[in-house]
Amino acid sequence: MKQKVMKACLGILWGMFTLTTFLLQSCDNGKEVTPAQGSGGSPFNPQLPISVKEISPTNGAAGQKVLIYGENFGNDPSLIEVTIGGQKAPVVNVQSTVIYCIVPTKAYSGEIQVTIKQGEEIYSAEVAEIKFEYQRQVVVSSLCGATSEQGSNSAKDGPFNDCGSITNPCFMTWDPEDHNLLYDAEDAGDAEGVGQGIRCFDFTNKQVYTMIPKNSFVGSQRCRTIDFYKDDNGKYHMIVGLAQGNVNSTAVMMFDRIEGGTKPCGFTWGNGRVIAQNQGCQAAAIHPTTGDLYFSNYQNSLLYRVKKYVIEEFATGKRTTPVRPGTADDAAQTILKVQDKEWEFNIMIHPTGKYAYFMVINRNYILRSDFNGETFTAPYVIAGVNSNKDTYVYQDGVGNQARFGNPYSGVFVKNPEYAGNSDEYDFYLTDRHNHAIRILSPLGQVTTYAGRGSASLNSNPWGYANGRLREDARFNRPKGIAWDERDNTIYVGDANNYRIRKIGLEEDVPEEDINE
């Protein structure tokens, strides 16, 4: 009796050892392992049926390692094809009664099919009643655009899948009256190339077209930001910040919505006029509650304010003479000095208007300026450290423990976990030279959301790769960013990949969108 018990125990131990050895030999994620490397069990017998009995685990996302149990799988992984939810699953190893494979992307329906090819003959298992419960992931994909040797010369108006390159997309925002229209300000003076002006991504018609050509701007063609002013009659006007090198140059322009025309959306933005003159405007933004205009100055790192009543006069045509800071015209007031000279900063105002982030692009840190009910107050560091403009360091952390490499632009994204808090928004930002999308919490915690993946490709943090947020995805100098609150999707202007990237549920990834 003792001998039988001992033999049974040894049998169990041997089975556990065999399975453990099989799994250890099969850890090369996604790569096929030849029988000589450890596949065991009996070879496939074409006289016997193939059966699928069980899968473990029974649920998970793409990339999940699973074991499929059954009969007559054989011992040669090169002969086996497994599909889960109609998508081909990479087979790592096989051992007659168990297959070790990887769950593919888009395996939504979860059906399991095993096929074995022997010579010219193909043998299939009956479709198993068991299904894998597929869990969709948030992934990075591409909405439109293409990398090309021509760069901006290949940009053109057209459908999402044939619009050439998206060149230097530095700022992105939605139309205030049609949330199917996403605008992109394309800079004309950075290393990322010469943009086309202000482009429109029309999700209704799935078209990209130039909404305001760059030659519509007075003086410099370097449009840097877009915002909207709503006048007292409820009509919206587009506010564009323009970078110039002369105190008498255009800093801010206003455009009106004009119905009709040839644009697929049925209107355009025109009647452009200068409303503020100054040098080095890097950003212009309308305060969401007061309606005042704020715009920046690069040379002296100043923040200016133009009161709402002045903007209203421009909107209604009562005023045509541009505002000029530092002159007898006191319509543009100097509100504060951000820090030292030549601070290139973007202005991102919280949706409630209670504070703003000044993203100091060329000094690699972020300031916060609180709103006192009248205007913005002296800024203080919320994340990062003031550093040399060419010093790019990547590090997550809290406050001054975090490090950036050109924090460029950002968007406030509502976080359901903060419901009921005084601040319900995280701030998602493009970290240009760190090639990543970062998150800044209201308490100053900086984490990396997406990018810098695909470590097996090479040691570079940049590149073009779609897929899982941290494991696979790569960006190359991302600049613009927008959030679609309807489906919690993020869009990114990926400058050196000449594309608009999308971060959303993988169900929405186009079939042709495959890693390059």
What domains can you pick out in the chain, each with its CATH number? 2-134 (2.60.40.10), 138-508 (2.120.10.30)
> Which sign, positive or negative, has the C-alpha torsion 305, 311, 314, 319?
negative
Q: Residue 17: what pLDDT?
A: 38
pLDDT digits (tens, 9 = 90+) for 421-470: 999 999 999 999 999 999 999 999 999 999 999 998 999 999 999 999 99
Q: Which two tokens mark 231?
A: 């006048």
Q: Residue 246: what pLDDT?
A: 78
- CA atoms of 142 and 341, how far apart (whole Å): 38
In which band, very low, low, confident or very high, does the pLDDT at 476 lie, cut at 50, 70 and 90? very high
Q: Are 75 and 43 in contact (CB under 8 A)?
A: yes
- CA atoms of 504 and 516, how far apart (whole Å): 19
- Residue range 401-405: mean pLDDT, rounded: 97
pLDDT digits (tens, 9 = 90+) for 21-79: 444 444 444 333 333 344 568 999 999 999 999 999 999 998 899 999 999 999 999 99
pLDDT digits (tens, 9 = 90+) for 119-138: 889 999 977 788 999 999 99
Q: Residue 153: what pLDDT?
A: 66
- Among residues 310, 192, 295, which one has the least CA distance to residue 242? 295
Q: Residue 20: what pLDDT?
A: 44
pTM of the model: 0.85
- Among residues 96, 17, 103, which one has the least CA distance to residue 65? 103
Q: Which two tokens mark 419?
A: 């419901």
Of 92 and 24, more confident: 92
Is the predicted pLDDT of residue 242 greater than 60, yes or no?
yes
- Residue range 218-245: mean pLDDT, rounded: 94
In which band, very low, low, confident or very high, does the pLDDT at 409 lie, cut at 50, 70 and 90? very high
pLDDT digits (tens, 9 = 90+) for 295-346: 999 999 999 999 999 999 999 999 999 999 988 777 888 999 988 888 999 9
Give the strand order in the sheet containing 332-337: 284-286, 293-297, 302-306, 332-337
Mean pLDDT of the chain: 89
Q: Residue 33: what pLDDT?
A: 35
- CA atoms of 160 and 206, how far apart (whole Å): 6
- Residue range 406-429: mean pLDDT, rounded: 97
**DSSP labels for 262-288?**
SSTTSEEEEEEEEEEE-S----EEE-T
Most confident stretch, 10-14, 386-390, 431-435, 508-512: 431-435
